[in-house]
Each structure stands twice: as C-alpha cells, then as structure tokens.
Homo-oligomer: A and B are copies of this chain.
Amino acid sequence: MDDVKAVLFDTFGSVVDWRGSVVAEMTTFGHDRGIEADWTAFADAWRAAYKPSMDRVRSGARPWTVLDVLHRESLEALLVQFGIAGLSEGDLDHLTRIWHRLTPWPDSVAGLTRLKRRYVISPLSNGNMALLVNLAKHAGLPWDTVLGSDIPRAYKPDPSVYLGACAMLGLAPGQVMMAAAHNYDLAAARALGMRTGFFARPHEYGPAQTKDVKAESDWDVVAEDIGDLATRMGC
C-alpha cells in the first residue's frame, strides 16, 4: 500500500447523499409551487432510472450521452408519471441541476482534506465534468482534479474509465486506490490491478437498504467512513 499515490472516489452515494438532497430540494420546490407528491418515492424513482439510462449508452444502443442529459430525460418521464405538468424550461434545468447541488456526508469534507495532504484525490464518477465541478464547488469537496465520465466518454464499470484515469495521472493501476461504498465498483477496479478501499453508506438508499451494507470481498482497506479511510491510509 506504500505505493499508492492517488485515491479516486466514487461520488454519488459514496461522498454525497443524493437521496436526502433530492428529497429536500423536491420538497422545497413542491412547497413553493403548491405541488404535492411523495418526494421520497420521486427521488428513488429518479435514481432507479440511472442504471437503465446508462445501460443504453454502455451497450452502444445509444451514442455517448452525458449524465446531465440522462438526468433531464428521466426527470421529464417522471414528471409525467407523477402527474406534474406545466413546468418551465428554467424549472426543468433547475431541477436537473439538483444533482450539481448534493450534500456531502458529514465525514466527507474533513476526510478528503486529510487524504489530500498525502495523496492526489479526485472523483472517478459517472457524473460529467460540469456536474462534478459544480458539485465540488457547492459541497466544498477539496479535489486535486476532477475526472468526469466525459473524459473517457464511457461509464463505469467500463475498464477504460479506470485505466484511462490511471494513465492520465501517470500512474500504474497498483499506485491508485478506488474508494467507494459500492462493491461492484471496487470489483471492477481490482480486476484491473488497482487498490481498493471500501466504506459502507448503509442509508444511501434509505432505512430499508439491503445492498452494499458491508464489504463483500477482502478489499485492501475496509473503513467506517472517509475519515476512517484517511486514518487507515496514514493521514
């Protein structure tokens, strides 16, 4: 582990609380506009559209499309499904950009700040650059750089995302740790020779979450949260 020079973070769910943030913003929006809906169900449905929308790009059924566009399309479909009509272009843009304004988990900023002293830190996310840069600005995430999916023009777990990031940083995969609250992401990184760091976010999907509540393999580091990861990485 002494060879590790950079730690790359999954972002949605691992660093920021997308669910709490989307529910809070939609609740405020609904209140301001006099729209009633189950905003928790709305947030969960929006996130449920995430994987299928990327899968069409992953499979090649659809050409490269950034996550902002996928979020906007799934939002429009959801509004119909929830019977919400009459929103302006400005409203739709504002709501799509909720994903640029997500709140970090309580330990994220302090933990990343400690890790930054010793390692290059960056998101390695399916978010596009604009989303991730705005999110970092909003949430105070102290990244050294941002590696969005529009650099490789591919979505995780495509190997080009992980290997392209290592190559751009001038590092061998064994010098780079993937850090995430999602086992699938670490499995993809390990298969390519990267180091792996896991920390659970057992309430990412709410109180009834059953997936990713614990490490499902012997990842190089298994931590409580990003602060604990920093401690275990010698920061």
Contact with B along A161-187 (1 / 0, CB 8 A): 000000011110000000000000000
Q: In the complex, are the beta carbons of B136 and A170 less than 8 A apart?
A: no
CA distance A143 to B141 in the complex (A): 12
Q: In the complex, are the beta carbons of B169 and A130 less than 8 A apart?
A: yes
Shortest C-beta distance, A151 to chain B (Å), equals 6
Shortest C-beta distance, A178 to chain B (Å), equals 17
Each complex incorporates copies of this chain amounting to 2
Cβ-based interface call for A112 (8 A)? no
- Closest B residue by C-beta to A97: B170
CA distance A145 to B131 in the complex (A): 12
24 A-B contact pairs sorted by A residue (CB < 8 Å): A68-B170, A120-B134, A128-B168, A128-B170, A129-B145, A129-B168, A129-B170, A130-B168, A130-B169, A131-B170, A132-B145, A133-B144, A133-B145, A133-B169, A134-B170, A136-B145, A137-B144, A143-B144, A143-B145, A144-B146, A145-B145, A148-B168, A150-B168, A151-B151
